[in-house]
Amino acid sequence: MIGPTRFAVLVLAFGAAPLAAQHVCPVLTSAQVAPLLGNGATPKESGSGMVCTWTAPNGLRSLQVTVAPATEQTRSHFDMMYAKPGKTAMGELRQETGLGERAVSLTTASGINFQVVQGPHLLTFAYANKTGAPTANDHHTLRAIAARVVGAF
């Protein structure tokens, strides 16, 4: 089974056009990710600033936010996913209306992944939970976090 992070890597691997650097970590605060990860979650930013990973203090839950170019190839692959919501081998794929230009979510046994196209960007939100299956509340909370970040791009 492919988890949310591998799913994100598959989508992001389809293109690499230049993208103006915009750091993603400063868009969120510890208080904003606390409903999903708990109090005291800390961020770690990649050297490029295009990846920000928030980790719960106990290390059992994490949120990785990635911004990448929405190339023609990534948009084409995204369109295929968007057109076929439902149960997949990876989990439940859903269209997420009202989030960015277009968005999908994938819920698996161990996490939730949102993919959002917004202008020249493809934003990925990969929530991993080592303590059990994600809940409907986790989905709702991750969507709110995604909306906040998408609004900054």
pLDDT digits (tens, 9 = 90+) for 32-59: 999 999 999 999 999 888 999 999 999 9
Higher-pLDDT residue of 135 and 84 is 135
The DSSP letter of residue 84 is -
pTM, entire model: 0.82
Out of 26-30, 45-49, 94-98, 112-116, least confident range: 45-49
Q: Hey, where are the domains in the chain? A: 4-152
**Check: CATH 1.10.3720 for 4-152?**
no
Decide if pLDDT at 18 tops 50. Answer: no
What pLDDT score does 114 carry?
Answer: 95
Query: Is the pLDDT confidence value at 153 over 90?
Result: no
Strands laid side by side in the 121-129 sheet: 42-45, 51-55, 61-69, 121-129, 111-118, 102-108, 92-95, 86-87
Write 34-43 long-range contacts (CB < 8 A, 24+).
Answer: 35/141, 36/61, 36/63, 36/127, 36/138, 36/141, 36/142, 36/145, 37/61, 37/62, 37/63
**Predicted local distance difference test score (pLDDT) of residue 106:** 93
Helix, coil or strand: residue 104: strand
pLDDT tens digits, residue range 99-145?
Answer: 999 899 999 999 999 999 999 999 999 999 999 899 999 999 999 99
Average pLDDT of every residue of the chain: 84
CA distance 26 to 22: 10
